[in-house]
Amino acid sequence: MNLATRMSRLGTETAFEVLAKAKALEKQGKHVIHLEIGEPDFDTPGNIIKAAVDALHQGFTHYNPAPGFPEVREAIIAEINKTRKLNLTADNVVVTPGAKPIMFFVIMALIEKGDEAIYPNPGFPIYESVINFSGGKAVPLPLLEENDFGFDLDYFESLVTDKTKLIIINSPHNPTGGVLTKEQLQRIAEIATKRGIWVLADEIYSRTLYNIKHESITQFSGMTDRTILLDGLSKTYAMTGWRLGYGVMPVEMAKWITQMAINCYSCTNAFSQQAIIEAYQGPQEEPEKMVAEFARRRQFIVDGLNAIPNISCKMPPGAFYAFPNIRKTGHTSRDLENDLLQQAGVAVLSGTAFGEYGDGHLRLSYANSIDNIKIALERIADYLQK
């Protein structure tokens, strides 16, 4: 096809590939339990849907300011200031179609050949993909089970060089469900400040936490000058298909990210954006109920996995993923992903879908009903017993 060479460096998110394979099997009449895709199975709360429908009728059907409507950015920054105890303004916010463009734009804006970016591995696959695409060097920071999937700070510090321009952190973390402690974040902040490094803080799961409080790296002195905080509506309000996310960043950076948005898609959907105001200012019972239900499922799936011989699973403090260790089963992660789908009718992801250090694990999304999780666990146990 004579593509630009940079295309050979672009990776992908295999969750969508496994989903497509699972759908193809379903078309052939096979029954598949979906534990592969990371999206809440709940409906978007009715008050939020109504706000978008009202906005459509009110004529929010045109282009709008590239960084987002001022009143929407006000609502976002009020939420961020309240939850992260900051004092930023709407000028710090850029609204995007889903949170993913923030990742793409920030990495492309900061990294080029000769630069290094440290990212969590296993981690959301788009980090590594876009760093490679940018021409910079992707430097993996292994998140290991023995460290509760947190940062090994000494090792992290040893990875920092004069070329390090960006550190990506994701807490609560996909795929492990791990969180970075306040002390770990403080140390990362100190290193970033001392070495003049940008931080991309992916906090998309900040509200999906079980009995602990979310800690943001932005709380540490000077960090709002060098952090792009990524968050959005997808996971918290079951709005993955609405494509609503945002970045909170220094004003100068917001100008550049806006310019990238103009080059790419002009602006975020007008009527769906209006629903952000209702999401943040309206009643919060529905998202709270979702987290309570996730907590029930978390216990169920972790207990169920630990009851299967040769599988062990730590209790994840956040997000909605279990990341069991499957090394003792004798299967590789990739083979097990494939066999469970083809032979047992359970769609899960290999830990290696999140990078080489995910080897020996599977990721199971528990954004599915307890009934379905129960069937999936039985099928996994039966398959492994054969």
Q: Is 333 in the site for ligand PLP (CB under 6 A)?
A: no
**Which of 14, 35, 38, 301 contacts ligand PLP by CB under 6 A?**
38
- Per residue in 161-184, is it b (16+ CB within 10 Å) or e — as a string? eeebbbbbbbbbbbbbbbbbeeeb
Amino acid in position 332:
T
Task: Take residue 359 and report the two structure tokens written for it.
Answer: 């080897």
Please check whether residue 114 is in contact with residue 161, taking contact to mean a CB–CB distance below 8 angstroms: no
Q: Is 174 in the site for ligand PLP (CB under 6 A)?
A: yes
Q: Residue 328 CB, nearest distance to ligand PLP (Å)? A: 28
3-class SS at 338?
Answer: helix
Q: Restricting to residues 94-153, which ones interact with ligand PLP according to CB under 6 A?
A: 98-100, 124
Least spacing, CB of residue 307 vs ligand PLP, in Å: 27
By beta-carbon distance, which residue lies closest to ligand PLP? 98
Segment contacting ligand PLP by CB under 6 A, of 73-81, 92-100, 206-214, 250-258: 92-100
3-state secondary structure 85-130: CCCCCHHHEEEECCCHHHHHHHHHHHCCCCCEEEEEECCCHHHHHH
246 is an interface residue for ligand PLP by CB under 6 A: no
Is residue 360 involved in binding ligand PLP (CB under 6 A)?
no
- Which two structure tokens, joined as six digits, stand for 283? 């009643």
179 backbone dihedrals φ, ψ, rounded to 5°: -130, 155
Q: Whose Cβ is closer to ligand PLP: residue 240's or residue 352's?
A: 240
Which of residues 357 and 383 has its CB atom nearest to ligand PLP in the complex?
357
The window from 43-51, 93-101, 159-167, 289-297 that contacts ligand PLP (CB under 6 A) reads: 93-101
Calculate helix-pair angle for 70-84, 270-281, nearest 10 degrees.
Answer: 30
Nearer to ligand PLP, 130 or 301 (CB): 130
Residues contacting ligand PLP: total by CB under 6 A: 13
Among 45, 120, 178, 232, indicate the residue that binds ligand PLP (CB under 6 A).
232
User: CA-CA distance, 73 to 54, in Å (whole number)?
Assistant: 19
CA distance 230 to 105: 12
- For ligand PLP, the closer of residues 329 and 368 by Cβ is 368
Binding site for ligand PLP (CB under 6 A): 38, 98-100, 124, 170, 174, 202, 204, 232, 234, 240, 245
